[in-house]
Amino acid sequence: MLYRENGQFKTSYRADQQIFPIVQDRIAIALLLVVAAVVIPWTAPEYLFRAILIPFLILSLAALGLNILVGYCGQISLGTGAFMAVGAYAAYNFTVRIQGMPLIVALLLGGVCATAIGVLFGIPSLRIKGLYLAVATLAAQFFTDWAFLRIKWFTNDSLSGSVNVGGLQVFGWPIDTPVQKYLFCLAFVVVFALLAKNLVRGHLGREWMAIRDMDVAAEVIGIRPVYAKLTAFAVSSFIVGVAGGLWGFVHLGSWEPAAFSIDRSFQLLFMVIIGGLGSIMGSFFGAAFIVVLPIILDNLPYWFDVPIDTALASHLTFMIFGALIVFFLIVEPHGIARLWSTGKEKLRLWPFPH
Amino acid sequence: MSLVAASTAAPAAPAVEGAPEAAVATLARRGIGEVVLEVKDISLAFGGVKALTDISFDVREHEIRAIIGPNGAGKSSMLNCINGVYQPQKGSISLRGRTFAHMNPRQVAEMGVARTFQSLALFKGMSVLDNIMAGRNLKMKTNLFQQAIRWGAAEREETANRRVVEGIIDFLEIQAYRKTPVGKMPYGLQKRVDLGRALAMEPQVLLLDEPMAGMNVEEKQDMSRFILDVNDEFGTTIVLIEHDMSVVMDLSDRVVVLDYGKKIGDGTPAEVRHNPEVIRAYLGTAH
Amino acid sequence: MGAFLETLIGGLMAGMLYSLIALGFVLIFKASGVFNFAQGAMVLFAALAMARFAQWVPQVIGVQDKLLANAIAFVGALALMIVLAWLIERLVLGRLVNQEGITLLMATLGITYFLDGFGQTLFGSDIYKLDVGMPKDPLFMFQNVFQGGILVSKEDLYAAVIAAALVAVLSLFFQKTATGRALRAVADDHQAAQSIGIPLSRIWVIVWSVAGFVALVAGIIWGSKLGVQFSLGLVALKALPVVILGGLTSVPGAIIGGLIIGVGEKLSEVYVGPMFGGGIEIWFAYVLALLFLLVRPQGLFGEKIIDRV
Amino acid sequence: MRLNSIRMATAIGAALLAAVAATPAAFAQAKEQFFPVLVYRTGAYAPNGVPFANGYVDYLKLVNAQGGINGVKISFEECETGYATDKGVECYERLKGKNGGATLFQPLSTGITFALTEKAPGDKIPLITAGYGRSESADGTVFKWNFPLAGTYWVAADVLVQYLAKKEGGFDKLKGKKITLVYHDSPYGKEPIPLLQERAKMHGFEFNSIPVTHPGVEQKAAWLQIRQNRPDYVLLWGWGVMNSTAIKEAVATGFPRDKMYGVWWAAAEPDVKDVGDGAKGYNGLALQHGAEPNSRVVKEVLAQVHGKGQGTGPKEEVGQVLYMRGLMSAMLGVEGVRRAQERYGKGKWMSPEQVRWGLENLTLDQKKLDALGFAGVMRPISTSCADHMGAAWARVQTWDGSKWTFTSDWLQADDAILRPMVRSAAEKYATEKKLSKRTPEDCQT
C-alpha cells in the first residue's frame, strides 16, 4: 500500500492531536479491529482461541497496565502477578458473597481492590528508587502468594485453597464458548487500550514521563512526585487487576495462587521490555511475542516431523528463549515498538534513503 | 591588572554590602520596582562540605539580576535553594514578602518562579512539544477520569494550552522541531526548549542557570536576545547565572558575585567589575 | 530458651549461606553496575557441573580416590565457570555497555533462562548427589544446661565456616591485590578507570569469574545439603532481600544483611509464623528489607544518592 | 541497523503467522487410539516426573507390541508441562483435538487437574487422576468426567491414621498423641487436612500442620518447630525435591525417620536415594503397588520394549515405584478403552465419551489383573456411577537403605468417614458451579 502523509494538512490542533494522525494508520487500525472482531471469530479454530488468542489478549492487557508503571512512569515492578492475583481473588469474592453480582462489575471491583493494594505497595516508591524499589514489589508478590494460600476467607473456605467460577454471563448472554470468551476479552482490551492511550497522551501522562525522565526538573516545574507516582501505581494496578480477573474467570475458570506466581510477573516484565517501554502498542507486540514464541518452539519438531525427546525440546525452548531476549536487548533495547516505528519511518520516505 | 585592583580598591569597598547609590540610580532608570525575591543569610552544606555561607541578596521587580562566580562557587546550589530542591540549614527566602520555613518546589512553582538548568534537564523521552506542554501542568486542571475519556473537557483544555505552547514555539523559532524527541536536537536548540518549558509556566520570576554555557557566538547572541525580549515583553524578572563575565555585563542590571560559597560582591556590573576581590577571584584564577 | 538459641544459631548459619550468594550479586554490581539476576542460575549450573564431573571422573579417568576425584571435578567446574564468564562478557555485557540498569537486569534474566536450559541439557534434570564429605549428623551442645541440649547441624556449621572463610579471602583479594584495586577503581568510576588504562572488559571477565567461583562454592554447599537439582537456582530469590538490605555496593553489607535476614526469617517463622498458619518466612524477609529501606533508601551500607541538577 | 531492524520486524510478523498455522492438523488416518501424555521432564519436579512418564509411555508401547487394544493400535504424544498449570492447559488444548481426538487425559498435577476439571465436561474428555487430584471428584454423580482411580488423598490420610492406630494398639491409644503434617503449600498439600482434622476430632489426637513453600528446599524453620513441639509422628505430604529435603532436615534435627510417614507421592526412590543411610527406616504409603521388579508386567516390558531397544528410560528404573505408578496409570486408561469396546464393539476406535463409560464401569477383577501381569501389584478395582475411585486400599512400605519393602498388610479407608465428606464437598462444588447432579438415567448412558 502507498504510505504517504503529504497532502494531509492538519487544520486544527485537535486534528493534530489524534492518536493516529496519518490517514493510512487510521484505516489500518480500523481494518485490524474488523478482522479481530468479525473475521477471526468466524474463521479461527478453537485451539487458536483457547491456547493463543485469549491468553494473548488478557496478558497484553496486563502488560499494558505494567507498561504504564514501568514504561511511562519509570517505576520498576517485579510484583505484577500479585496485583493480578488481588484482582482475581477480589472479583471471585464479590461474585460468591454478593448474590447476582454482574460479571463485569465484579471484575471492575476486583480492579479497584488491586488499585488499593497497588497504591499501598507504591508508597515506598516515594522514598526508594530504581532497583531498590523492585524489592518492595517483590514483597507484594510473596505476601499475596502467601495470603491467598493461607487465609481461608479469601478462597471461601475451599478445602484445597483453589477456587473456581462457572456459569459466566453478561446481560443474559453466556460467556461460555471460546468465541464468546474471546470477544468478551477483546472488548475489555480495546476499551482499556483506548482509555490508557488517552491518559498517556494527556497531561497526566506527561507528568508520568517527566518523573521518569528527570524527576528533579519535573518537581521544579510544579509536578508533585507523590501524585504522579501514586496515580501511575493506581492506574497500572487497576488495569493489571482487571486482567487478573479475566485470567482467572475467563481463561482458567479454576485457579490457585500459583497461577499468579513470580514467574508470571517476570513474564509480563519481559513482554513490556521486549514490546517496548513506554508504548501502548509495544505491550501488544510483547505479549504476542512471549505468548507465541514458546508454543512455536514446542511445536517446531512436530511440524517438521522430527520428534525429539520432550525434555531436550523444552530445554532448548528455555535456551532459545533466553538467547532471543538477550539478542533483542542488544539489537534494539527499545523493543519491537521501536523497530515498528523505524520501519514506518522508512516506509514513509521510501524510496528515498533519507 | 594587579595595579587596577590596587587603584580601585578604596571606592569599590562599600559596593560589597547592600546596593549602593549608583545601582539604585540605574534601577530607577529602567523602571524597576519592588523587591520580589529576598534571600537572607542562606547557609547550605552537604555533610561537611560547605556549599553556601550566609548569602544574602534581593531581586527587584522586572530587573535582570546576575549571579556570577567561578565554577564551584555555589551558584547552582543557590538556585536549588530558591527552588526548594535543596533545604538550606540556615537563613530564609521570601517571595513577594511571603517567607517559607520549608520551601517545596511545587509551592515555588505556584508562586510563579520558573527555572532552566545548567546541565540540560529536559525530558529526553518526550518530544519538544510535550516538553513544553509539561511546563503547563500547573495550568491544567482536568482530573484523571476526564482525561481517560478525553472527549470534552480534557480535549478542550489540551487544545487551549496547545495554542499557548505554539506561541512559545514560534517565539523561540523552533517550529520545525515540534515533534522531534529532544534528545535528537542540537545542543543550542535544546537550551531553547529548556527556556520554552520555563516560559510555558508564564513565570513572574525566571531563574536561568548558565543559559549560554557551551554555546558558540551566534547561539549566545540569539539566547541573549530571547532573554531581553522575555524581560521586556512579559516584564519577567530574571535571575541569571553565568560564569562568563562578558555576557553578564551587558545583560544584567545588578550582579551578585559568589566565590567558594561566599558573597564577595554585589552591585551594578560597573561596580562589580572594579571590585578587587572579584578581580582576584576571577582574573586571579585566570592568570 | 534453648529452643530460642537453637533457632538463632540456625538462622545465623542460614544467613551465612545467603550472604555467600549475595556476595556474588554485590561483586558484579560494584564492578559492572549489573544487577545480576543470573547469580542463582550460575549456582545451579556450577553445582550441576561439579556433581556430574564428580561422577564422571572416576568412570572416565578412573580416579578412585574420592578426594582427588572431587578436586579434579572442582577444577573442571571452575574452568567452566570462567569460560562462562568470558562468554557472558563477550556476547552480552560487552554489547550492552552504558544501557540503563533495567535493560541489563533483563539481559541477566535472559541469561538465567539460557543457563537453566543449557545446564539441564548438558547435565540432565535428575536430582544428583554431591558428596564432598560434609557431616550430616546433628550436634547437641550444652546438654547439661538445657534439656535436650541445643541442636547445631554440623553440616550447616561447616558450611557457615567455609562461607566465612571465603568472604574473608575475597575481601583480602580486593584490598591487597593489584587486580582488586583496579576493580575498586572501576567500581568507583568506569570512565576514569578506563582513562588511566584499566581495560574494562578484562576486569569484567575477572569479576564474573570470581562471581562464578562464589557461585560454585555456594552451589557445592547447598548442593551437598539439598542434592543438586533445578530448585537450587531459586536461592537467588533468597539472596535478593539480602543485597537490597545490605546495600547493592557493599561487601560487608551483604554479610551483615545475610545474617539479619537469616535470623529474622527463622525467628519469625518459628515464633510468629504459627499465629498466621506458617509459611511466612519468604515474604517476611522481603518486608524486613523493605522496612529497612524506608529508613535508609540506599540500604545499610550503600552509598547515599544526592540529586544534582 | 535500520535495515536489519526492518528484517526483524518482518521476522516477527512471520512468527505470528506461523503461530496461526500452529493449529493441530487432525489428519485422518487409520483410527488409532490417541493417548496424549502430559509429562514434566524438566524443572523442580523432574526427578519424580521422569520415571512416571517413562513407565506410562513404556506401557503404551507394550500394548502396541502385544497388538494393541483388541487390535486397535495406540498412538501417543508427550507434552511438557513443567508442572505449571498454564502450560498444562496449553498442552491440553493442543493435544485434545489431535490425531482424531484425545482418548483421555492424565494431568499428573493437582493444579492442572483443577484447571482441566473445568474444561473436560465441555470437551467431553475423561480425566484419570490415579492417586491425586480432587478428593471429592470420587463422587461421579457430580464429577462425571473425573476418575481419581485407586485412591484419593483422603484415602491416603485415612489409611495412615488407621495404620498409626494399629501401631499404637487401637484408636483409643491415639488420644493425646501429637501428629504433625508437613505439607507442600499448594492444593495438593492441603487436600488431606480436612480429613485429618476430622480424625483428630474423633480420636482426640493433637493435629497440627506446617506448610512448606514451593519448591520445598527451605525447611529449616519447619523442622526446628517439629523439634521443639516433639510430635509422635510426622506425616509428609511433599513432592519432588521437598521429600528428600524433608528427610535430610529430619536427619539434621535428629527426628527419628521411623516416625515419618509419607504419602504415596513421597515414597519413591528419588526421595530417598541421595539421602543415603539417613533415609533408612523412613516409611511411606504405597498406592496399591510398591516397587515391583519381579511382577510379570515388568518382565514383559523388559522383554518386549527394552528388549527391542525401544525403552523410554534407563533399564534400571523399570519396576521402580514411580515407574510402576506410570505403568499402572496407563494400564487403567487402556483398560477403560477395553471395557468400552466390550459394549460399543470390540476392535473399534472408542470415542472419549465411550471411554468415559468404560472407566465408569471398570471391573478389574483378580482374573483380569493376573492376565495383565499385575498379579500382586494391585487389588481389583471396580467403579460405578456413584464411585469413580473404585478402590480405597493402600499399604505402608519402608526404605531399608537400598529398597522399599512392605511393612503392613492391606488397609482400607473407612467409607463411613469418607463418603459424607466427599458428598458435601461435591455438593459445594456443584452449587458454586451451578451444576445439577446426574440423574440415575444419565448414569445408564
pLDDT tens-digit map of D108-164: 998 899 889 988 998 999 999 999 988 999 999 999 999 999 999 999 999 999 999
Q: What is the least distance, in Å, from the CA of D19 to any CA of chain C?
A: 22
| Tens digit of each residue's pLDDT (9 = 90 or more) over C74-102 | 999 999 999 999 999 999 988 888 787 77
Rounded mean pLDDT, D347-361: 94
Question: How does residue A2 score in pLDDT terms, banded at 50, 70 and 90?
Answer: low
**The residue to which cell 491440553 is assigned:** D92
Contact D289, D328 (CB under 8 A): yes
Domain count, chain D: 2
Helix, strand, coil distribution of chain D in percent, nearest 5: 50, 15, 35
Is residue D1 less than 8 Å (CB to CB) from chain C? no
Residue A4 belongs to a domain: no
Residues 6 or more apart whose Cβ sits within 8 Å of residue D257: D247, D250, D251, D278, D279, D280, D281, D282
- Tell me if B85 and C309 make a contact (CB, 8 A cut-off): yes
Q: Which of C235, C256, C237, C261 is nearest to C246 (CA)?
A: C256
Residue of D nearest to C117 (CA): D42
Question: How does residue A200 score in pLDDT terms, banded at 50, 70 and 90?
Answer: very high
Rounded mean pLDDT, A218-237: 95
Among the partner residues A127, A269, A318, nearest to C116 by beta-carbon distance: A318
Residues B6 and B133 in one domain: no
Range of the domain at B47: 2-112+203-286
Q: What pLDDT shows up at residue A258?
A: 86
Residue D20 belongs to a domain: no
Paired sense of beta strands B237-242 and C150-153, if any: unpaired
Residues B66 and B163 in one domain: no
Residue D40 belongs to a domain: yes
Q: What is the least distance, in Å, from the CA of A232 to any CA of chain D?
A: 29
Chain C residues within 8 A of A132 when measuring between CB atoms: 244, 248, 293, 297-299
Rounded mean pLDDT, D216-241: 91
Residues D122 and D206 in one domain: no
Is residue C135 less than 8 Å (CB to CB) from chain D? no
- Tell me if C309 and B46 make a contact (CB, 8 A cut-off): no
Residue D250 belongs to a domain: yes
Interface probe for C, chosen from A75, A126, A135 (most Cβ of C below 10 Å), is: A135
Does the pLDDT of residue B11 top 80, yes or no? no
Does the pLDDT of residue A288 top 70, yes or no? yes
Q: What pLDDT shows up at residue C299?
A: 78
Q: What pLDDT shows up at residue C141?
A: 76
Contact D4, A339 (CB under 8 A): no
Q: What pLDDT shows up at residue C301?
A: 78
Q: Which of D181, D397, D192 is nearest to D283 (CA)?
A: D397
Q: What is the least distance, in Å, from the CA of A225 to any CA of chain D?
A: 36
Question: Which CATH number do you get for residue D268?
Answer: 3.40.50.2300
Beta bridge partners of D284: D262, D397
Residue B117 belongs to a domain: no
Residue D256's alpha-carbon distances to C4, D231, D260, D271, in angstroms, are: 22, 11, 7, 17
Q: What pLDDT shows up at residue A353?
A: 60
Range of the domain at A166: 48-349
Is residue C14 less than 8 Å (CB to CB) from chain D? yes
Chain C residues within 8 A of B46 when measuring between CB atoms: 306
Among the partner residues C227, C266, C269, nearest to D274 by beta-carbon distance: C227
Residues B46 and B85 in one domain: yes
Rounded mean pLDDT, D237-264: 93
Question: Which CATH number do you get for residue B92?
Answer: 3.40.50.300
Q: What pLDDT shows up at residue C308?
A: 56
Q: What pLDDT shows up at residue B286?
A: 44
Alpha carbon A330 to chain centroid, angstroms: 23
Residues 6 or more apart whose Cβ sits within 8 Å of residue A31: none
CA angle C295, C300, C301 (to 5 degrees): 135
Chain D residues within 8 A of A335 when measuring between CB atoms: none
Residue B196 belongs to a domain: no
Residue C51's alpha-carbon distances to A134, C232, D115, D402, in angstroms, are: 33, 13, 37, 21
Residues D146 and D157 in one domain: no
Q: Picking from A294-308, B228-242, C27-41, which range would have the lowest pLDDT averaged per residue?
A: A294-308
Residue A259 belongs to a domain: yes
**CA–CA separation, D238 vs B93, rounded Å?**
67
Does the pLDDT of residue C309 top 70, yes or no? no
| Tens digit of each residue's pLDDT (9 = 90 or more) over D279-296 | 999 999 998 888 999 999
Chain A residues within 8 A of C118 when measuring between CB atoms: 315, 318-319
**CA–CA separation, D151 vs D154, rounded Å?**
8
Q: What pLDDT shows up at residue B31?
A: 66
Residue D28 belongs to a domain: no
Question: How does residue C122 score in pLDDT terms, banded at 50, 70 and 90?
Answer: very high
Domain final position from B190, B213, B245:
B190
| Tens digit of each residue's pLDDT (9 = 90 or more) over D377-405 | 999 999 999 999 999 999 999 999 899 99
| Tens digit of each residue's pLDDT (9 = 90 or more) over C42-74 | 999 999 999 999 989 888 887 778 889 999 999
Q: Picking from B4-13, C242-251, C270-279, C287-296, which range would have the lowest pLDDT averaged per residue?
A: B4-13
Is residue C238 less than 8 Å (CB to CB) from chain D? yes
- Tell me if B119 and C306 make a contact (CB, 8 A cut-off): no
Q: What pLDDT shows up at residue A4?
A: 67
Residues B259 and B146 in one domain: no
- Tell me if D244 and C227 make a contact (CB, 8 A cut-off): yes
Share of chain C above pLDDT 90, in %: 27
Residues B104 and B6 in one domain: yes
Pairwise pLDDT comparison (B14 vs D393), residue with the higher score:
D393
Q: Which grid coordinates are listed for B163?
A: 495554542
Preceding peptide of D215 cis, ω within 30°: yes
Q: What pLDDT shows up at residue A206?
A: 96
Range of the domain at D329: 33-151+292-382+422-444
Chain A residues within 8 A of C113 when measuring between CB atoms: 318-319, 321-322, 325
Residues D213 and D258 in one domain: yes
Domain count, chain A: 1
Residue of B nearest to C305 (CA): B46
Residue of C nearest to A215 (CA): C307
Q: What pLDDT shows up at residue B29?
A: 59
Q: Which of A203, D75, A322 is nearest to C120 (CA)?
A: A322
Among the partner residues B124, B138, B149, nearest to A198 by beta-carbon distance: B149
Residues B134 and B183 in one domain: yes
Chains that touch A (3 or more CB pairs under 8 A): B, C, D
Residue A52 belongs to a domain: yes
CA angle A8, A13, A14 (to 5 degrees): 90
Residue of B nearest to A279 (CA): B125
Residue of A nearest to D98 (CA): A47
Q: Is the pair B, D in contact (3+ CB pairs within 8 Å)? A: no
Contact D289, D306 (CB under 8 A): no
**Total beta-carbon pairs less than 8 A apart between chain A and chain B:** 107
Q: First vs last Cα of chain A: how many Å apart?
A: 20
| Tens digit of each residue's pLDDT (9 = 90 or more) over D55-91 | 999 999 999 999 999 999 999 999 999 888 888 988 9
Rounded mean pLDDT, D318-334: 95
**The residue to which cell 525440546 is assigned:** A313
D427 CB burial (10 A radius; 0-12, 13-18, 19+)? middle
Question: How does residue C303 score in pLDDT terms, banded at 50, 70 and 90?
Answer: low
Q: What is the least distance, in Å, from the CA of C185 to any CA of chain B?
A: 23
Among the partner residues A55, A288, A302, nearest to D16 by beta-carbon distance: A288
Q: Picking from B202-211, C20-29, D344-353, D389-398, which range would have the lowest pLDDT averaged per residue?
A: C20-29
**CA–CA separation, C91 vs C87, rounded Å?**
6
Q: What is the least distance, in Å, from the CA of B81 to any CA of chain C?
A: 12
Chains that touch D (3 or more CB pairs under 8 A): A, C
Question: Which CATH number do you get for residue A90?
Answer: 1.10.3470
Residue A3 belongs to a domain: no
**CA–CA separation, B260 vs B78, rounded Å?**
12
Q: Is A301 helix (H, G, I), strand (E, B) or coil?
A: helix
Which D-chain residues 384-443 have CB contacts (< 8 A) with chain A?
425, 429, 432-435
Q: Which of A260, A59, A78 is nearest to A163 (CA)?
A: A260
Rounded mean pLDDT, A95-104: 91
Q: How many CB atoms lie within 10 A of CB C172?
A: 11
Q: Is the pair B, A in contact (3+ CB pairs within 8 Å)? A: yes
Residue D389 belongs to a domain: no
Does the pLDDT of residue D27 top 60, yes or no? no
Residue D14 belongs to a domain: no
Residues D69 and D138 in one domain: yes
Does the pLDDT of residue B4 top 60, yes or no? no
Q: What pLDDT shows up at residue B27?
A: 58
Question: How does residue D445 score in pLDDT terms, banded at 50, 70 and 90?
Answer: low
Dihedral sign for Cα A208, A214, A215, A217, please: negative
Q: CA torsion angle for A263, A269, A270, A274 (degrees, to 10)?
A: 170
Does the pLDDT of residue D29 top 50, yes or no? no
Residue A273 belongs to a domain: yes
Does the pLDDT of residue B2 top 50, yes or no? no
Average pLDDT of chain B is 84
Chain A residues within 8 A of D94 when measuring between CB atoms: 47, 51, 295, 299
Contact B276, B5 (CB under 8 A): yes
Rounded mean pLDDT, D324-341: 96
Residue D5 belongs to a domain: no
Range with the largest mean pLDDT of A16-20, A73-77, A349-353: A73-77
Q: Is B58 helix (H, G, I), strand (E, B) or coil?
A: strand
Q: What pLDDT shows up at residue D400?
A: 92
Residue D27 belongs to a domain: no
Residues B62 and B85 in one domain: yes
Does the pLDDT of residue D2 top 70, yes or no? no
Residue A80 belongs to a domain: yes
Beta bridge partners of A243: none
Q: What pLDDT shows up at residue D11?
A: 53
Residues B19 and B78 in one domain: yes
Domain final position from B141, B164, B190:
B190
Contact A283, A64 (CB under 8 A): yes
